[in-house]
Amino acid sequence: MFDNLLTSLDVPPAIALRRLIFGHRVTEMIAVATRLGLADLLGDTTQSAAELAPHIQVDPGALHRLLRALSSVGIVLAHEHDRFALTPIGQCLRSDAPDSQRAWVLLESADFFQQAWADLDTAVQTGTPAAEHALGMPFYQYMTSHADVGAIFQQAMAEASQLAAEAVVAAYQIPPYARVVDVGGGYGTLLTAILQAHPTARGVLFDRPEVVAGARPP
């Protein structure tokens, strides 16, 4: 994924490294925009910060600076008269987008997730999971104890599965009347895509009981 990063950016190595270092800032910018619901509010329109701010009760000037920052990383496009519109990348932050990554943003920027990553040095030094050290319990136990966290995680996994579903369905030939077992299948996003493409197949979704309870039939 990063093999040709330096050459593809066509910038000095030190500048390329700085861009990587600043990645956490970009994540937080996108996370704030997502928590504010900016993508849903913008939709297919072009609006200014002054027009958007009253809907989400934020400072117009600060929102304008956030939108300018988001335009620098390709989330929104700046137009004349300080107006902004979503780019194709920004559209993926909408809750109604077929390839939405909204839940993934909320997961990646969540405090518990950031705590686990902040403990990466412990994982490297000891070989033990960083999340377990940071959260005081195994990761999946933490999700079971925090239903809101578990819901965000499963929705993020569903979004990731949706991105891969079409390619997986095209890559594998499922015999008629086969039984497909998806182990750790979350809400069944991938299994649903397979069964829709192969109506005679039967599917088994295997995951924790509280996760399977949130799955929808294909």
List the chain domain ranges. 5-91, 110-145, 147-218
Instruction: Specify the residue for token string 């990731």.
Output: 160
What was the pLDDT predicted at 10? 78
What was the pLDDT predicted at 205? 95
What was the pLDDT predicted at 32? 98
pTM, two decimals, is: 0.84
Label each residue of 106-159 as H, E or C. HHHHCHHHHHHHHCHHHHHHHCCCHHHHHHCCCHHHHHHHCHHHHHHHHHHHHH
What was the pLDDT predicted at 198? 94
For domain 147-218, the CATH superfamily is: Vaccinia Virus protein VP39 (3.40.50.150)
Q: Which tokens is 90 given? A: 């920004």
pLDDT in tens, 124-156: 999 999 999 999 999 989 988 998 998 999 999
CB 157 within 8 A of CB 186: yes
- Alpha-carbon distance 78 to 107, whole Å? 28
What was the pLDDT predicted at 211? 87
CATH architecture of the domain formed by 5-91:
Orthogonal Bundle (1.10)
What was the pLDDT predicted at 210? 84
Task: Show the low-confidence residues of the chain (pLDDT under 70).
Answer: 1-9, 218
Percent helix / strand / coil, the chain, rounded to 5: 60, 10, 30
Q: Are strands 179-183 and 202-206 parallel, antiparallel or unpaired?
A: parallel
